[in-house]
Amino acid sequence: MKVQEGLFLVAIFYLAYTQLVKAQPRNDCQTKCGNVSVEYPFGTSPGCFYPEDNSFNLTCNEKEKLLFGHKPVINISLSGQLRVLLVRSKVCYDSQGKKTGYRARRTSLASFTLSEHNKFTVVGCNSYAFLRTSGAENYSTGCMSMCDSVPSKKGSCSGEGCCQTPVPRGSSFFRVKPHSFDNHTAVHQFNPCTYAFLAEDDKFNFSSSDDLKNLRNVMRFPVLVDWSIGSQTCEQVGNTSICGGNSTCFDSTTRTGYICRCNEGFDGNPYLAAGCQDVNECTTSSTIHRHNCSDPHTCRNKVGGFYCKCKSGYRLDTTTMSCKRKEFGWTTILLVTTIGFLVILLGVGFIQQKMKHQEDTKLRQQFFEQNGGGMLTQRLSGAGPSNVDVKIFTEEGMKKATNGYDESRILGQGGQGTVYKGILPDNSIVAIKKARLGDSSQVEQFINEVLVLSQINHRNVVKLLGCCLETEVPLLVYEFITNGTLFDHLHGSMFDSSLTWEHRLRIAIEVAGTLAYLHSSASIPIIHRDVKTANILLDENLIAKVADFGASRLIPMDKEDLATMVQGTLGYLDPEYFTTGLLNEKSDVFSFGVVLMELLSGEKALCFKRPQCSKHLVSYFAFATKENRLDEIIDSQVMKEDNLREIQEVARIAAECTRVMGEERPKMKEVAAKLEALRVKTTKHKWSDQYPEENEHLIGGHLLSSQGETSSSIGYDSIKNVAILDIEAGR
């Protein structure tokens, strides 16, 4: 009982062991039999051959002959082939046709199979033979050969005395049967037998003179046999294959099962666990593994390969495996020159860019100087602590602000230049005026203008924010006034004229006040020289802003008149200035008179639709006044019952302003005062209509406030008094 259990356990452990550890041959296995080497998976003793297939069990007999079954083995290739010797079959007859010898052969290859590199050969005249196989598939093949004399052709088995047929691979059991058609009686003299056998390709060369007689007494022919491990593919066996380290499993190409092969650069028995070892290609004598460095001294071995090491300054030419001195090939030269050329091109481009940039900067600097930038900065710095707040803009900033002076940004085009809408980086909107090509003699005056205008901080003058002097023509940057020009409002090119008489009077007062201020109050008197409705801008509250000082001139303190080129707008141009060319502040008075007339009549300063003699608004007015039909030419929109007297007064002022002789015209200051007085009356009128009880105090306050500072407190006081009174009354 116990013994049986023990045996059983041993059997179990043995099984488990063989499952886990890949079967390996013993260490003391015979590796040579005669001069044929025997290697695993083949072996000649138990424990030396692949244990799962007895076909690998070879025998080495006492004559040192290696046998596969009873068949001598002459060669074993570990890549799946075995060369064995098989005895030929024959049938022989005597001269009477009596059979004297007969040998048919059965051969079994166990689990191995016949290779396709064998041929079935029949030698004889009057002969035929069959090869019958059985295995996975059963088939028969054969050939016949008939001749009545010794064939004269030599050296080929082509049907005369010898026939050959290819053999399909794969069969592991076969029989060879030789036959004769007529017992060789006709050919007995030179061919008494039929020989039939399998032989490896090229291992039998037919010789008609030698072989028909007795096949040169050769008994055995080498036959190639395919073998492989198991009947599963590499994929199926996975890591349970017997392939050792540094080797790879391959599916057999000739049959089922797999074979193992050492990896590239390794050599040895791939079926042993540590069979495949690195080949030292530099020293090996094997032609398969030998290095191909042209100079053996340069060869260096590495695991799984080798390399040819060249001295420094030399490189390996892989077509000849020899070391060549490093030199620049034409591709390198081409590459280098191309890169060099590119670098030069880039460099030249860069330098050009830089030079252009410098040139630009120089040009900008030149323009800046030409436009009086130096003078301006000097003046600005010399001006000391003043309210000068004129910014110098860069050309680039201006270009950006106007979107490259885009046409869509043009707000207007006038005698003095083009006005663009500009958007500064801080998103504020400005008007940018680009002057017409400047002339250098006026630079100083331009600078003066910039200086003076920047100092004018009058609520009715468009504020100058800055200038740009880096361009060929100077650019002026103004605050942006939203509501168009008075011209547009009056002549309806953009807006419906919704200007009431009150608006118009206020605008007239504002403009008159501004001009008076320019003529007398500003630090250096300024003549606007181009007063016209188109140069009076209106903001969102319809407050007038006098603009376009492009033609303006500064009058030196010691001079009354200034001789200039006559400049201005037809219709507004002072006839005296026009004829004498002498400019003084009365020219502005004339132009303002025309503006007043425009405000009154809603007519344009110059209109060719009016009768010949009334084309000019001044003469139009003069005629109407003369014929006492002024009310006819007043704009119906402003004409009301209660303002007739004011209109007449304004018309009278307008007429005074447009007198032919400058001397006879009032000063701007006087005009402003007269108009202001009119408004006071109007306001009084209004107020007295609406608040008849309180008018005393308020009118008093207003009147006084327009004349002096102290008065407002009186008005204020009086109101306070009322308030106090009220509070006291409430108690």
Ligand X SMILES: *[C@@H]1O[C@H](CO)[C@@H](O)[C@H](O)[C@H]1NC(C)=O
Catalytic residues: 530
Structure tokens at 500: 């009431």
DSSP-derived 3-state class of residue 209: helix
Which is nearest to 456 in space by CA: 366, 556, 552? 552
Among 7, 14, 17, 98, binds ligand X (CB under 6 A): 98
Nearest distance in Å: CB 313, ligand X: 22
Among 8, 14, 26, 54, binds ligand X (CB under 6 A): 54
Q: Does 205 bind ligand X (CB under 6 A)?
A: yes
Contact indicator for 545, 462 with CB cutoff of 8 Å: yes
Rounding to the nearest 10 degrees, give the CA dihedral for residues 383, 384, 387, 388.
40
Q: Does 138 bind ligand X (CB under 6 A)?
A: yes
Among 5, 28, 62, 202, binds ligand X (CB under 6 A): 202
Distance CA 102, CA 193 (A): 9
Q: Does 46 bind ligand X (CB under 6 A)?
A: yes
Map residues 313-352 to x or -, x wherever contact with ligand X holds by CB under 6 A: ------x-x-------------------------------
Among 61, 77, 358, 706, binds ligand X (CB under 6 A): 77
Residues of this chain, 423-442, that bind ligand X according to CB under 6 A: none
Contact segment (CB under 6 A) with ligand X among 32-40, 217-225, 656-664, 706-714 equals 32-40
- The alpha carbon of 309 is separated from its chain's Cα centroid by a whole number of angstroms, namely 44
> Smaller CB distance to ligand X: residue 27 or 239?
239
Q: Does 239 bind ligand X (CB under 6 A)?
A: yes
Q: Does 97 bind ligand X (CB under 6 A)?
A: yes
Contact segment (CB under 6 A) with ligand X among 93-101, 384-392, 421-429, 675-683 equals 93-101
Nearest distance in Å: CB 139, ligand X: 9
Nearest distance in Å: CB 143, ligand X: 19
Contact segment (CB under 6 A) with ligand X among 71-79, 395-403, 651-659, 674-682 equals 71-79
Among 18, 100, 108, 134, binds ligand X (CB under 6 A): 134
Contact indicator for 130, 141 with CB cutoff of 8 Å: yes
Contact indicator for 220, 67 with CB cutoff of 8 Å: no
Nearest distance in Å: CB 158, ligand X: 13
> Smaller CB distance to ligand X: residue 213 or 290?
290
Among 183, 460, 514, 533, binds ligand X (CB under 6 A): 183
Q: Does 52 bind ligand X (CB under 6 A)?
A: no
* Residue 348 CA neighbour count, 13 Å, CB half: 6
Residues of this chain, 516-545, that bind ligand X according to CB under 6 A: none
Q: Rounded to the nearest 10 degrees, what angle do helices 373-382 and 443-455 cross at?
A: 40
Q: Does 27 bind ligand X (CB under 6 A)?
A: no
Q: What pairing do the DSSP bridges indicate for beta strands 429-435 and 220-226?
A: unpaired
Q: What pairing do the DSSP bridges indicate for beta strands 417-423 and 276-278?
A: unpaired
> Smaller CB distance to ligand X: residue 9 or 274?
274
Rg from Cα positions in the chain: 63
Q: CB-based contacts of 674: which residues, under 8 Å, 6+ apart?
A: 649, 653, 666
> CB count, 10 Å around CB of 176?
25
Nearest distance in Å: CB 319, ligand X: 6
Q: CB-based contacts of 25: which residues, under 8 Å, 6+ apart?
A: 40, 43, 47, 48, 49, 272
Contact segment (CB under 6 A) with ligand X among 54-62, 433-441, 606-614, 693-701 equals 54-62
> Smaller CB distance to ligand X: residue 33 or 432?
33
What one-letter code names the amino acid at 621? Answer: F
Report which DSSP code applies to 602.
-
Q: Does 18 bind ligand X (CB under 6 A)?
A: no
Nearest distance in Å: CB 138, ligand X: 4
Nearest distance in Å: CB 9, ligand X: 23
Contact indicator for 198, 127 with CB cutoff of 8 Å: no
Q: Does 168 bind ligand X (CB under 6 A)?
A: no
> Smaller CB distance to ligand X: residue 292 or 428?
292
DSSP 3-state percent helix, strand, coil across the chain (nearest 5) = 35, 25, 40
* Tokens 């007519």 belong to residue: 603
Among 117, 203, 309, 669, binds ligand X (CB under 6 A): 203
* Tokens 């196989």 belong to residue: 133
Among 16, 303, 339, 660, binds ligand X (CB under 6 A): 303
> CB count, 10 Å around CB of 372?
24
Distance CA 509, CA 595 (A): 12
> Smaller CB distance to ligand X: residue 165 or 366?
165
Q: Does 59 bind ligand X (CB under 6 A)?
A: yes
Nearest distance in Å: CB 101, ligand X: 11
Rounding to the nearest 10 degrees, give the CA dihedral for residues 347, 351, 356, 358.
150
Residues of this chain, 262-291, that bind ligand X according to CB under 6 A: 274, 277-278
- The alpha carbon of 514 is separated from its chain's Cα centroid by a whole number of angstroms, namely 59
Nearest distance in Å: CB 350, ligand X: 47
Q: Does 556 bind ligand X (CB under 6 A)?
A: no
Cis peptide preceding 474, ω within 30 of 0: no
Nearest distance in Å: CB 320, ligand X: 7
> Smaller CB distance to ligand X: residue 44 or 601?
44
Q: CB-based contacts of 198: which residues, under 8 Å, 6+ apart?
A: 86, 114, 118, 119, 120, 121, 131, 167, 174, 176, 221, 223
Q: What pairing do the DSSP bridges indicate for beta strands 391-392 and 464-468?
A: parallel
Residues that bind ligand X (CB under 6 A): 34-36, 46, 54, 57, 59, 74-75, 77, 97-99, 134, 137-138, 182-183, 185, 202-203, 205, 239, 245-246, 274, 277-278, 292, 303, 319, 321
